[in-house]
């Protein structure tokens, strides 16, 4: 449990550092004066000043912040510093600064995936572990231990290839090639359509033939070019799934019980670390995507909320009054606190009660 907490805190701190670094670098690029760069909230444990910026490590490792000159309406800005004040920058510059934090999380996720794909990882092989009686595969003659090497002329090297081929299969028979005792055997199988649950808990129809994977894992390593393409696609695909999940949660298609928080991250990070460095890196990449997407939600106090304010300013050609900004941020804080309470409650019920 102690190691899980340590791994989880390291993972969270790294992702927060990357996020705030995005804001920091874009602010510097836009010639906005950065007063403070803090990893964590609350009481400062360590701090030092380099140049015009104070760097701090604070007590609560569940966030961080970059304080910019002129960001707060109470900031006193000297006349010579006005050109470098956040408040005096045009809206599109403010949008870039707000967007850079989440964007860095997505780029970081892609880099982590790239490291995994080029360094080597294990995938589930296409070896058949079981054949269910009464299903098409059994009737067609597929046997336990067969290795599926080809479906409809397309090579299959890992189990997800089989699932993808079945999802793309048209009506009628599907051509399979399996390796059995060193020989290739061609089979024609007509899939059966069944209903099942997807990752969002929704009922969907899918084609099955009645086989299960063996537990055999095979090593895989992508080329430098192949890993680059694959890491970008993986980041895009998981970002899309995260967005869909949030939309379905708001619409009520997904139970609020699925919302997880820091405690769950600590637990899972510990488990992934036990499985190996590759599993931990992959998990951190997924959390980085989640952090980036969530921060882009148009909720006041999040980066997406700030972007929304500045878009409104561009459209209306007038800045929102500070009174309305304050009200919106209080509402945003209320929403954020409510979600965090729900996440902590779900974590406690899941981890300690088992529900």
Mention every residue, 6+ apart, whose C-beta is less than 8 A from residue 321. none
Rounded to an integer, what distance in angstroms lies between the CA atom of residue 48 and that of residue 51?
10
Residue 54 burial (10 A CB sphere; 0-12, 13-18, 19+): middle
Collapsing DSSP to helix, strand or coil, 44 comes out as: strand
Rounded to an integer, what distance in angstroms lies between the CA atom of residue 244 and that of residue 305?
19
Rounded to an integer, what distance in angstroms lies between the CA atom of residue 228 and that of residue 118?
9
Handedness of CA 288, 290, 296, 302 (dihedral sign): negative
Which residue among the candidates 20, 71, 152, 202 is catalytic per the annotation? 20
- Cβ contact 93:273 at 8 Å: no
- Cβ contact 125:159 at 8 Å: yes
- Cβ contact 27:61 at 8 Å: no
Rg over CA atoms, the chain: 25
> What's the CA angle centered on 150, arms 140 and 194, to 5 degrees?
50
Active site residue 20: yes
**Residue ranges of E strands in 69-216:** 121-124, 128-131, 147-151, 154-155, 174-180, 183-189, 192-197, 203-208, 211-213
Residues taking part in catalysis: 20
């Amino acid at each position: 449990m102690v190691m899980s907490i340590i791994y989880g805190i390291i993972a969270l701190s790294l992702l927060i550092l990357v996020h705030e670094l995005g804001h920091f670098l874009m602010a510097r690029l836009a010639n906005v004066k950065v007063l403070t760069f803090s990893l964590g909230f609350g009481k400062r444990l360590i701090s030092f000043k380099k140049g015009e910026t104070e760097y701090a490590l604070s007590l609560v490792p569940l966030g961080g912040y970059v304080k910019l000159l002129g960001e707060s309406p109470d900031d006193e800005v000297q006349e010579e510093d006005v050109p470098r004040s956040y408040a005096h920058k045009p809206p599109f510059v403010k949008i870039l600064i707000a967007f850079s934090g989440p964007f860095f999380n997505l780029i970081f996720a892609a880099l982590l995936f790239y490291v995994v794909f080029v360094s080597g990882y294990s995938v589930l092989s296409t070896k058949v572990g079981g054949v269910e009686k009464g299903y098409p595969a059994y009737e067609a003659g597929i046997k336990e231990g067969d290795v599926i090497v080809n479906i409809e002329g397309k090579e299959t090297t890992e189990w997800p290839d089989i699932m993808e081929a079945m999802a793309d299969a048209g009506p009628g028979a599907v051509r399979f090639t399996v390796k059995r005792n060193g020989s290739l055997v061609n089979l024609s199988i007509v899939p059966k359509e069944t209903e099942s649950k997807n990752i969002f808990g929704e009922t969907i129809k899918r084609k099955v033939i009645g086989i299960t994977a063996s537990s055999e894992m095979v090593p895989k390593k992508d080329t430098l070019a192949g890993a680059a393409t694959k890491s970008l696609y993986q980041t895009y695909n998981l970002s899309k799934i995260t967005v869909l999940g949030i939309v379905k949660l708001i619409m009520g298609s997904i139970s609020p019980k699925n919302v997880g928080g820091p405690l769950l991250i600590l637990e899972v990070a510990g488990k992934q670390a036990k499985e190996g460095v590759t599993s931990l890196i992959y998990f951190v990449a997924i959390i980085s995507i989640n952090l980036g997407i969530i921060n882009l939600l148009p909720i006041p106090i999040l980066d997406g909320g700030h972007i929304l304010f500045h878009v409104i300013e561009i459209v209306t050609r007038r800045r929102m009054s500070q009174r309305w900004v304050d009200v919106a941020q209080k509402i945003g804080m209320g929403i954020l606190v409510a979600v965090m309470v729900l996440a902590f409650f779900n974590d406690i019920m899941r981890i300690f009660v088992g529900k």
